[in-house]
Structure 1
Amino acid sequence: MTPHNRKQMISDVLTLEKGVKTRPDDIVQRSLWLWKRIASELVPLIGETGFQSLYGRAVHLALPHCGSFTLSKQGDSTEGVIDRLRQDLVTLEHDIAHQCSTLLITKFTDLVASMIGDVLMNQILRSAWQEHTTQPDS
């Protein structure tokens, strides 16, 4: 799976089924679920500090496009980081929240992939989001 395909997968997983009526906070809840699943896969491998460092870098890279994101405070737990993201996303309109969520997760996964490789990153995402990703390896 190429980085472009990974970005498309992230956007697809964030998108609710077509024709399903959505509430304003659906994208926020969906994004938080994705982050919790990513954290559950990565924290055992890279630790809380590693996860938080990469998340902070991803936020920094996304800020020019999504100015509503706030950097987490040093020492925040993973849950604290995810709660801060929730606070940031609830202030956005649905489409903007979707775009910013996609961008942030893409930046984060690109950073991780640059360290561990695309194949392993894609396996981690598939494992984290297994009920939503049934695509074969590309």
Structure 2
Amino acid sequence: MTTLAVLVALVASLLSGIAGVVLSFGFYSWLERRRLKVETARKLFGNRHRVHEHQFQEAINEVMIVFSDSQLVIDAMENLWKVVETPQSSRAANAADDALIQLMKAICADLKIKYKHLPDTYFLRFFSIPR
């Protein structure tokens, strides 16, 4: 075996190892970002009927950071913020609900969750069993 063949084998081995590490790191980073987004979405959707409680407020505060790479979600969040800041006497009766629905739709779009045949009213429905 010549020196050139050994050198080529060595360089190819190093490059394949480096490429594997870079690809694995990139995929793991993407997977971790997706997991955080899904976790935040689950908390938000799961606690949407308790907007004044800690779990919902925690989830809504996470949205700005976790979904900061989605302009659609950021715009929907800004719209919700403007509606909530407006006094209730100065806004439409369902303005906050509509803004929350738009935020949830934007989150679904970012996560590629299809809701095509789901009416808007279903975004605010929840089950509660009396004790």
TM-score (norm. length: structure 1): 0.33
TM-score (norm. length: structure 2): 0.34
Which of the pair has the greater relative contact order for Cα pairs under 8 Å at 6+ separation? 1
